[in-house]
Amino acid sequence: MRRLAKEGQIQAVRHLAKDIVRMKDNQTKFIKLKAELRSLSAQMDSMAATAQLQKSMRSVSRTMGMVANQIKLPELQASLQKYAMESEKMEMKQDMINEAMDDVMEHDTDDEDELIQKVMDDVGLEWNEKLVDAPAKEKQQEEKEDEVDTDLQARLNNLKR
C-alpha cells in the first residue's frame, strides 16, 4: 500500500509539474502577446499621424495653388522695386536730418571750458589744481593696498613655516 501511495504522490507531483510548465509557457506567450500589441498600437499611432500629415499637405498644396493664381508676378516685382526705391529715399532723408542735427548740436569745447572756468572762479574753486591732485590720491591708495598685500603675504609665509 505504501508503494501505491508513493506512486500516487509521484503522479500528483508529475501532474503539478506539467501544470507549472504549462503556466510558465502561457505566461511567456502572454508577455510576447502584450509586446506585440504595444508594437501594433505604436504602428497605428504612426499611421494615424502620417494620414493627418498627408491631409494637411493636401490642404496646403491647394491653398498654395490658389495663392499662386491670385498673385501676379510682374505686379509683385514692380511693388517690391517701388518699396526699395522709397526705402532708399527715406534712408537718405534720415541721413540728411541726422547730419543737420549733428551740425546744430555741435559744441565748441573751448568756449565751454572758458565758461566753466569763469563759473568756478566766481564760486572760488580752483578747477585745474583739484583735477591734478585727483590721480595722486589714487596712487597713494594703490600703494597702501600694495603694502597690505605684501604684509599679508609675509604673514602667510610665516604661517607656512
Full pLDDT tens readout for the chain, 161 residues: 677 778 888 888 999 999 999 999 999 999 999 999 999 999 999 999 999 999 999 999 999 988 888 888 888 899 999 999 999 999 999 999 988 887 777 766 677 777 777 877 777 665 555 555 555 555 666 776 777 778 778 877 887 76
**Length in residues, the chain:** 161
CA-CA-CA-CA torsion for 137, 143, 144, 145, nearest 10 degrees? 110
Distance of CA 150 to the CA centre of its chain: 45
* Cα angle 36, 40, 43; round to 5: 140
Residues 6+ apart with CB under 8 A from 18: none
pTM for this prediction: 0.36
Residue 15: all three cell numbers together: 501532474
Give me the amino acid identity at 65.
G
Query: Are 126 and 120 a contacting pair, CB within 8 Å?
Result: yes
* Contact yes or no for 120/127 (Cβ under 8 A): yes
- Cell numbers at 91, concatenated: 534712408
- pLDDT for 103 equals 77
